[in-house]
Amino acid sequence: MTTILFGILEEGLVYAIMALGVYITYKILDFPDLSVDSTFPMGAAITAAGIANGLPVIGIVHPVAALFLSFLAGAFAGCVTGFIHVKLKVRDLLSGIIVMTGLYSINLRIAGKANLPIFSKETIFSNQYLSEHVPASMQPYMVAVILLLIVSVCKLLLDAYLKTRSGYLLRAVGDNDILVTSLAKDKGMVKIVGLAIANGFAALAGSVYCQQKGFFEISTGTGTMVIGLANVIIGTQLFKRFGFIKSTTAVVIGSIVYKACVSMALMLGDLQIAGIKISIPVTASDLKLITSVLFLIILVVSPSRGKKVKSHA
């Protein structure tokens, strides 16, 4: 049971990083950014290629440096999405689809193939430093501890940014873009900044995911946007009446709760009620179906019915 709980916690924390980015686009900007489905695996591709074979010009990349490189690459992709939407006047949904589709091929070029393992390489979770300085009794918990540290840093930095002038402008664009224009600020540029930060978080989550799992897989990004939305909606709805809990904190908790729901659904095959075993043929291959069904249930149960609900961090 402990192993299952730690597995849920670890998975939830990885996707919580991505969910913080989706929170920016969905809750603040009201922007359906589907490019997240490709910036997530892009972070994984950069990380796997950098650690395993090295990147052009840069060479072999340190696992920690891979996190920063992935964030920057994701931020650039977010800028491209914003540029297409703001400067080329393409609808928000189509802008994300265009970037998502283009990044699929780019991710394959970065990694060199559809599946690139890094099991034998050092990562932020498995390296010589941890082996030498962390007691053996603590080793099984280090993945969760490191993930908690990364998520905490991301959350605190996002909270701090949202309190800056640029952060207030970002929230103003989502609430009333006319107000931003009246302040002589370029609302289009503010959107681009928001999309850059959001996709930076998505790519960072992909990098962490790759180092945790030990491989890059081109299909890992499929459904990322749906998972992120589910995390955001669960978190914000669960804690909407608790004013002292920040929205970013709620999103992180929502990510863990969502992963717990998915794990429970996968365990339905071993369900026993009153000593009677109920056999439901649910396997890991049904994960995407479970994800979509859970998301539909969340949208139906949610009072907002998937519509934008204003909330502030």
DSSP state, residue 272: E
What's the pLDDT at 140? Answer: 85
What's the pLDDT at 294? Answer: 80
Contact between residue 157 and residue 68 where contact means Cβ atoms under 8 Å apart: no
Contact between residue 205 and residue 17 where contact means Cβ atoms under 8 Å apart: yes
Residues sharing a CB contact under 8 Å with residue 87, sequence separation 6 or more, in sequence order: 188
Could you give the CA distance from residue 162 to residue 169 in angstroms, rounded to a whole number? 9
Amino acid in position 14: V
Could you give the CA distance from residue 126 to residue 214 in angstroms, rounded to a whole number? 10
What's the pLDDT at 139? Answer: 86
* Residue-level pLDDT, tens digit, the chain, 313 residues: 678 888 899 999 999 999 999 999 999 998 989 999 999 999 999 999 999 999 988 999 999 999 999 999 999 999 999 999 999 999 999 999 999 999 999 999 999 999 999 998 999 999 998 988 888 888 889 999 999 999 999 999 999 999 999 999 998 887 777 777 777 788 899 999 999 999 999 999 999 999 999 999 999 888 899 999 999 999 988 888 887 889 999 999 999 999 998 888 777 655 555 555 555 666 666 777 877 888 788 778 776 544 444 444 4
Could you give the CA distance from residue 211 to residue 160 in angstroms, rounded to a whole number? 27
Residue with tokens 């920016």: 24
Residue 272 pairs with which residues in a beta bridge? 277
What's the pLDDT at 261? Answer: 86
What's the pLDDT at 269? Answer: 58
Could you give the CA distance from residue 256 to residue 26 in angstroms, rounded to a whole number? 19
What's the pLDDT at 291? Answer: 77
SS3 state of residue 304? coil
